[in-house]
Amino acid sequence: MAKSNCNDCTCRLAKEVCQLKAVVNAQSKTLTKLVRQIRDGCRKDEEPKESTLCGLNPCLKCLNPDILYHLGLDTETTDFPKVFGDVRFVCMGGTPGRMENFAYYVMQEIGLKINAATQLRDIAEAGKRFSLFKVGPVLCASHGMGCPSISILLHELIKMMHHAKCQDPVFIRLGTCGGIGVDPGTVVISSEAVDGRLNAGHEIIVQGNSILHSSQLDEGLAEDIKMCHDPCKDKYETIIGRTLCAHDFYEGQSRLDGAFCEYTPEMKKAYLEQLQSQDIKNIEMESLAFAALTSRANIKGAVVCVAILNRLNGDQIKTPHEILAKWEKRPMELVTRYIRKVLYFNASDSESDQLEEDECGEGPQDKEGSPQGGAGDTQKAPEEAAE
Ligand code: R2B
Ligand code: URA
């Protein structure tokens, strides 16, 4: 027993030393670059002319201004490249409160600081529909429930990335789901989203015609996020699997406890078992629109959800709130580790340029025209990265 504790401890210490080494290396590269820049004279890198997004509406350039109605933002009164040009991660989840907490958590974990008396501002407050917080290169948005809601948010966030000329932003949805044959508390990263007929496509009706968009998700990104699971530390499983996206919580998910139910418990059981036999690991309500819209724009996307029950064992969620709250943090922790890894440990020479320290020591909230750190703002490397 004592021996295994000691091994655990050594394993953790070795890991922390590796992480610290990586931070020191990243900082030393940044320092070298800074010194080189001072020596060569401070020449600002050329700003990108366009975003890396593809396949967008050609008429966007004619919209002057473009009004992102549900976010309460427009291209006339907000300088999108200045405010949002540095965004590299767009994270979204169901509720405003959860995403605000996530924003503060990301801020702490990536080593950004604002004055203790200052709060993050909800940039989308004027739209009165969604919440949006910016923490340096990370945007955190609430998306509401279901595909219609997340579709509206995604149209407007994708346009935002386009107008801001963002380079390769990664989109991640973090949420909850019902597991299919998986233990409650397990984190499921979606490989693809399927509809209630198990078709891997998001159908939208456009001018009376049915249009199907692929709902595959980025395999590499799913793997990278899964790698952030730490079996030494995390007392739960993280798996990759197919996700059923329903358009309703009750009949659409074959529950027996909705206001209406026109099938028998046997029929429900047969449907859920069919899902299990088709390798479906979870059910939620936004992945189809999320996968379809991100992949249409050439954006890498991932859906990371914690299962709050095993649907093979029931329909109602009886787990106490304190435990649910703990489980809901799991996707957040994994995704934050992934973000930190990309920002600080994978940083190539040119990427680490973006992580230079803010010499003025201004908090991300304090910059003029730049809620929570706009493009060109810089972040501090994590001070306690090994924590
Ligand atoms: C998971 O949980 C919500 C329903 O309770 C829905 O937004 C989803 O996808
Ligand atoms: N969210 C869903 O959509 N379904 C569940 O069963 C749990 C969370």
Dist CA 358 CA 380 (whole Å): 7
Answer yes or no: is 253 within a domain. Answer: no
94 close to ligand 1 (CB < 6 Angstrom): yes
**95 & 238 share domain:** no
225 and 341 fall within a common domain:
yes
Atom 3 of ligand 1, nearest CA residue: 145
**Residue 111 within a domain:** yes
Helices 287-296, 147-163: inter-axial angle, 10-degree rounding: 20
Name the residue at shortest CA distance from atom 6 of ligand 2. Answer: 178
The SS3 assignment for 61 reads helix
Nearest listed ligand to the Cα of residue 307: 2
- Look at residue 325 and tell me if it is in a domain: yes
Ligand nearest to the CA of 175: 1
* Cα 1 to averaged position of ligand 1 atoms, centre (Å): 41
Most ligand 1 atoms within 8 A of CB, residue of 176, 188, 253, 282 to mutate = 176
DSSP string across 236-285: S-EEEEEEEE-SSSSGGGT-S-SS---S-HHHHHHHHHHHHHTTEEEEES
- Ligand of minimum distance to the alpha carbon of 286: 1
Low-confidence ranges of the chain (pLDDT < 70): 1-46, 347-387
- Is residue 362 a part of any domain in this protein? no
Whether the ω angle into residue 65 lies within 30 degrees of 0, i.e. cis, is: yes
Would residue 216 count as lying in a domain? yes
Same domain? For 66 and 178 the reply is: no
The answer to whether position 302 is within a domain reads yes
- Domain limits at 117? 61-167
Which among 150, 244, 280, 285 is the best mutation to test ligand 2's pocket, defined by most ligand atoms within 8 Å of the CB? 285
> Which residue's CA is minimally distant from atom 5 of ligand 1?
249
In a domain, 125, yes or no: yes
- From 167, 199, 222, the end of a domain falls on 167
Whether residues 100 and 155 share a domain: the answer is yes
Region of 341 on the Ramachandran plot (φ > 0 left; ψ -120 to 50 alpha; else beta): alpha
Q: What is the pLDDT of residues 64-98, one digit of tens each?
A: 999 999 999 999 999 999 999 999 999 999 999 99
The count of domains in the chain is 2
Query: Residue holding tokens 């954006």?
Result: 299
Tell me the C-alpha to C-alpha distance, in Å, between residue 320 and each of 181, 255, 260, 316, 373.
21, 20, 26, 12, 37
**The pLDDT value given to residue 380:** 35
Nearest protein Cα to ligand 1, atom 7: 145
* pLDDT value for 117: 75
The widest CA-to-CA distance across the chain, in whole angstroms, is: 76
Task: Name which residue sits closest to atom 3 of ligand 2, judged by CA.
Answer: 284
385 found inside a domain: no
Assess whether 181 and 155 both reside in one domain. Answer: no
Question: 305 CB under 6 A from ligand 2?
Answer: no
pLDDT of residue 44: 54
Task: Tell which atom from ligand 1 comes closest to the C-alpha of 177.
Answer: 1
Q: Which of 98, 147, 149, 177 to mutate to test the pocket of ligand 2 (most atoms within 8 A of CB)?
A: 177
Is 294 found in the same domain as 216?
Answer: yes
| Ligand 1 atom closest to the CA of 287, numbered from 1 | 9
Q: Clarify whether residues 191 and 334 are in a common domain.
A: yes
Residue with CA nearest ligand 2 atom 5: 178
Decide whether any atom of ligand 2 lies within 6 Å of the 285 Cβ: yes
| Residue 220 and residue 83 in one domain | no
Asked whether 186 and 236 are in contact (CB, 8 A), the reply is: yes
Same domain, 337 and 190: yes
Instruction: Determine contact, residues 55/134, Cβ cutoff 8 Å.
Output: no
Residue 284 alpha carbon to ligand 2 centre in Å:
5
Query: Which ligand minimizes its atom distance to the CA of 316?
Result: 2
Same domain, 341 and 201: yes
Ligand 2 and 253: CB distance under 6 A: yes
Tokens of 263: 């099938």
- Pair (190, 235) in one structural domain: yes
- Ligand 1 centroid–CA 189 distance in Å is 15
Does 284 contact ligand 2 (Cβ within 6 A)? yes
Q: Which CATH number does the domain housing residue 238 bear?
A: 3.40.50.1580
Residues 326 and 214 in one domain: yes
